[in-house]
A = this chain, B = another copy of it.
Amino acid sequence: MSDPPVLSFRPTAAQFAWTFGGNEPAARIQPGTVLRLWTEDCFAGRVRGKDDLVSQVCEFPFLNPQTGPFYVEGAEPGDTVAGHFIAIEPSRDWAASTTVPLFGALTSTHLTATLNDPLPEIVWLWELDRARRTCRFTARDSDFSAELPLNPMHGTVGVAPANLEVRSALVPDAFGGNMDTPEMRAGVTCYLGVNVPGALLSIGDGHARQGEGETCGVAVECAMDTVLAVELLKGVATPWPRLESDTHIMTTGSARPLEDAFRIAQVELVHWIAAEYGLSPMDAYQFVTQAVEAPLANVCDTNYTSVAKLRKDWLPGGAVMRGMHEQLGEIARVYRGG
């Protein structure tokens, strides 16, 4: 296998994309290209200290800047783009998290509207130790401190939406977007159905780590140096984003209420394994019921995101999605060796 084409792109502040859809491509790439990207954090880099409150330093709607979009040559509606994360590395030795007024799972919000007073707005700075692969939490109101493993991931990966829409980069939906799942880590392939010519893929919202559900609405947010191999599956439609690692296949659903997000992800998994392994839908329903893991992604965004996850070694041999994950893994190996 010859070396894959490589494109490096580090956007300036003026080059950020703030939406899925509605942006001119940052570049056009051939399927098989490796992208070396830098992504800014969800605060557009403006939260740098404990006094940098989002409501004061950030400028709505300029949140969650995306790097891209990339026009994938040959991608057309009905196809699927596959993005394989070769590396996701924090590009700073610190990260920030905050509460944001009327945002998060354990607070009144603009949608779950109440008359209660809002929660206080607080910033936490996390120290990242990239050598030891840890990040350190320091409490604001006591001397509690704790070290957690780094688990770098992208909260936001998406393409231009269908139905002529342009969506905020804060939204997760069938086009991907701000799904905020910790499963979006290095080694994982993300499959996204194409809605417009060129797909217009972009990524952002790096997290040094995140719990499942992203409870307060904000993860350990940091800028990232990310390497992503991009491929194209012609003639394969993917209704909702799918993920694949060396060990698991995964589906996602993004909706409200949360049970609808769960339903979408589970129905997608049932249909997927029924199609790949010749199972009837009812047999696949039974098998998924007993075998699935259901880690929540986010319960705070415009839509909530649920993941359905199945171990590959519990399934018959043979690759899914035409072996695209294995093919991208090979590109990753060649790239790393290069």
Contacts and interface: CB of A to CB of B under 8 A. Distances in A.
Interface stretch (A44-52, A158-166, A324-332): A158-166
Contacts of A278: 142, 144
Interface stretch (A24-32, A102-110, A242-250): A102-110
Interface of A: 18-19, 21-22, 60-61, 97, 99, 105-108, 110-120, 122, 124, 126, 137, 139-142, 144, 146-148, 162-168, 170, 209-220, 253, 255-260, 262-264, 266-268, 270, 277-283, 285-296, 299, 304, 306, 314-316
A125 to B, nearest CB: 11
Nearest to A283: B139
Contact of A216 (B211, B289, B304, B306): B289
Contacts of A163: 60-61, 168, 170
A261 to B, nearest CB: 8
A262 B213 contact: yes
A267 B106 contact: yes
Q: Indicate the member of A112, A117, A118, A270 with the most B CB atoms within 10 Å.
A: A112
A179 B89 CA distance: 39
Given A166-B21, A282-B122, A315 B146 contact: yes
Contact of A279 (B110, B142, B257, B299): B142
A115 to B, nearest CB: 5
Q: Indicate the member of A114, A147, A217, A290 with the most B CB atoms within 10 Å.
A: A290
A292 B110 CA distance: 21
Given A116-B107, A259-B257, A139 B290 contact: no
